[in-house]
Amino acid sequence: MDEPRAGARRTAAVLLAAGASSRLGTPKQLLRDAHDTPLLARLIREATLAGCDPVIVVLGAESDAVRASLGTTNAHLVHNPDWPHGMATSIRVGVDAALAANADAPITSEVDALLLMACDQPAVTRAHLEAMLAAHASYGGRVVSSYDGAHGIPAVWPRADWPALRQLSGDRGAKALLRGDEPAVPLADGALDLDTPDDVQRWRALPG
pLDDT in tens, the chain (208 residues): 333 334 445 899 999 998 876 566 677 777 887 778 888 998 999 999 999 999 999 999 888 988 998 888 999 999 999 999 999 999 999 999 999 988 877 776 789 999 999 988 888 999 999 999 999 999 889 999 999 888 999 999 999 999 999 999 887 788 889 888 899 999 987 777 777 777 777 766 666 5
**Which residues, including other chains, have CB under 8 Å from residue 181's CB and lie 6 or more apart?**
none
The residues facing 182 across adjacent strands are none
pLDDT given for residue 124 in this prediction? 93
Give the CATH class of 12-205. Answer: alpha beta
pLDDT reported for residue 27: 72
Q: What angle do CA 187, 14, 174 make, to 5 degrees?
A: 70
Q: Tell me phi and psi for residue 174, to 5 degrees.
A: -75, -15
Spatial separation of the C-alpha atoms in residues 13 and 10, rounded to whole Å = 10
Query: Can you give the pTM of this predicted structure?
Result: 0.87
CA distances from 66 to 36, 52, 156, 193 (A): 15, 21, 25, 19
| pLDDT score of 35 | 75
CA torsion through residues 175, 114, 188, 59, sign: negative
